[in-house]
Structure 1
Amino acid sequence: MQKNRYLEIDFFRGIAIILMVISNFVTDLKYFLGYSENLLFWSIFALYVASIFIFISGVSFNISFSKKVVSNNLNYKHYFIRFLKLFAVSVLITIITSRFLTSGTIYFGIIHFLAISGLLGIIFYRFEKINLVFAIIFLSAGLLFRGMVLETPYLLSLGIMPTNFYTLDYFPIFPWFGIYLLGMGFSEKYYKNGVSKYSFEIFKNKIFSKVCYMGQHTLFIYIIHQPILVGFLILKYGIFSKIAL
């Protein structure tokens, strides 16, 4: 277990990545095998899981950034490197889904979103509790943009889609950065200056610590889980009709 981490954050991030793997597996079943049972439930489930994951990401960013500000050890290079790492992964996701899937290319999925959010978080950090207001603005704008259609793919990151646009993973800045800001606002209240008001010794429990460990390695789990899931479906069901070889 890594030091200087809040285990409760790692735990809930670990739960979130487990639920996300389940949600993405259902998406794979729908895409490759035409699974069509309880689609409303799974759609709501996917939104719920993504909201948790993004909220916790906002909390984590604010804690990390606050600690560096308070200790006068703020180095923007760290955040730029993190952006480049996530950006590289997101570009790879776009290339792979474009090359190997017959439809549903991921142009702005959750990794694309988190890469951009890490930079936007630096800008919005200074607004502290006012971020709750900005969160409402982003969420409201997301509802507004959802009904807009423009024949250009260059506004996808904002939530404005062209006609008949289809993708397997889509997390535009509007409204999702609003959820990220809610996480930052939550952190500002309960982890002021990056310091927790509470102590959760229960998360040192052997079982909980395993989930915490997963929460510390969510990017790695996210990268490898789809190749494993899709590989399983290929071995068991074929599914070559949806794969461009």
Structure 2
Amino acid sequence: MPAVKPCRAFELDALRGLALLLMVLHHLIFDLRYVFGLPVFAFQETRWFIYFLQPLFLNVFLVVSGICCTFSRSNTRRGLRLLLVSMALTAVSYLVSTLTGQAFYIYFNVLHLLALGILLYAWLTRAERRRNRSQARADLLLLLAIAVVLGAAWLLPFFAEHGSWWLLPLGLPPKLDYAMADYLPLVPWLGFFLVGTLIGRRVYQDRCSAFPGAPAWLRAVSSPFALLGRHSLIIYVLHQPLMLALLYGLQALGLL
């Protein structure tokens, strides 16, 4: 395993890796209960899981992704590449749903959201440089955007009847007779990504760890999660098809 740069923000890698691991585990228990129909993991239907635990690790992942976005000097390229990956994921999910007869349709999930969030931040920083705006003014724009996105969540229920495919990314999908997989609209979730960019601009201006004096034991304990965090995209893209292939294989062998 290559050595980690001393300046690297290991805490961000570790937090993102931990959140990613929790998302993977969530998909596993979801598949076992709702795809394969096993009478297990019923706690997914409890209020504490739906309204606290699941949003918690999603928010951690989004905030850390927003912070890491401020480290990059090529966000436009990163955002466009991620947008292509997310579109390919949508196409593959449509193909799998057609072949299996099950609703695995992914129209707008965390990858779509991150792609648009990264592109939005790239536009903001480019405008900041071109117009020679101070960081304080740019941060004020970020605060305004955060307030608008999070505040809009309170208005969504009043417009639910006007959902359409065009408004699906904003949190107003059309009425469907099936559930979308991993649906994560811009409202309110983009707000948490933008919170991360604001934290990154203020706390991680030198693009280094905020805890340079962290003890060796803490770095050692967090290193497995940090490894996951450094490869989060490839893990997120591949984990679900690999898990489903494994579970279908176990089912075919009569082991599930």
TM category (shorter chain) comes to 0.7 to 0.9
Q: Map 1:82-161 to 2 at 5 A.
A: 82-97=82-97, 99-125=99-125, 126=128, 127-147=138-158, 148-150=160-162, 152-161=164-173
Superimposed CA distance per residue, residues 106-131 of structure 1 (whole angstroms, 9 cap, x where no aligned partner) = 11111121122211121244422441
Q: 1:63 aligns with which of 71, 87, 91?
A: 71
Moved more, 87-96 or 41-50: 87-96
Whether the aligned pair in 1 keeps the contact of 2:164 and 2:174 (CA below 8 Å) is: yes
Structure 1 or 2: more helix by fraction:
1
Q: SS of 1:176's equivalent?
A: helix
Q: SS of 2:199's equivalent?
A: helix
**In 2 relative to 1, CA 227–132 (structure 1 residues): closer, same or farther, beyond 3 Å?**
same
What TM-score, normalized by structure 2, do the two folds share? Answer: 0.77
Whether the aligned pair in 2 keeps the contact of 1:86 and 1:114 (CA below 8 Å) is: no
**In 2 relative to 1, CA 62–222 (structure 1 residues): closer, same or farther, beyond 3 Å?**
same
Whether the aligned pair in 1 keeps the contact of 2:11 and 2:209 (CA below 8 Å) is: no
Tell me if 1:172 matches 2:179: no
Whether the aligned pair in 1 keeps the contact of 2:10 and 2:219 (CA below 8 Å) is: no
Q: Mark the runs of 5 or more structure 1 residues left unpaired by the alignment.
A: 69-73, 239-245
Match in the other structure for 1:216: 230
Q: Larger radius of gyration, structure 1 or 2?
A: 2
**In 2 relative to 1, CA 144–29 (structure 1 residues): closer, same or farther, beyond 3 Å?**
farther
Match in the other structure for 2:194: 181
CA–CA separation in structure 2 for the residues paired with 1:46 and 1:195: 29
Q: 1:201 aligns with which of 214, 225, 235?
A: 214
Whether the aligned pair in 1 keeps the contact of 2:76 and 2:119 (CA below 8 Å) is: no
Instruction: Report the alpha carbon displacement of residue 135 of structure 1 after superposing the two structures with TM.
Output: 0.9
Question: Residue type matched to 2:33 in 1?
Answer: K
CA–CA separation in structure 2 for the residues paired with 1:30 and 1:146: 29
Q: SS of 1:120's equivalent?
A: helix
What TM-score, normalized by structure 1, do the two folds share? Answer: 0.80
Give the paired residue count.
Answer: 230
Instruction: Report the alpha carbon displacement of residue 47 of structure 1 after superposing the two structures with TM.
Output: 1.8
Moved more, 174-183 or 90-99: 90-99
**In 2 relative to 1, CA 146–201 (structure 1 residues): closer, same or farther, beyond 3 Å?**
same
Tell me if 1:48 matches 2:56: yes
**Identity value in percent:** 25
Indicate the RMSD between aligned Cα atoms, in angstroms: 2.7
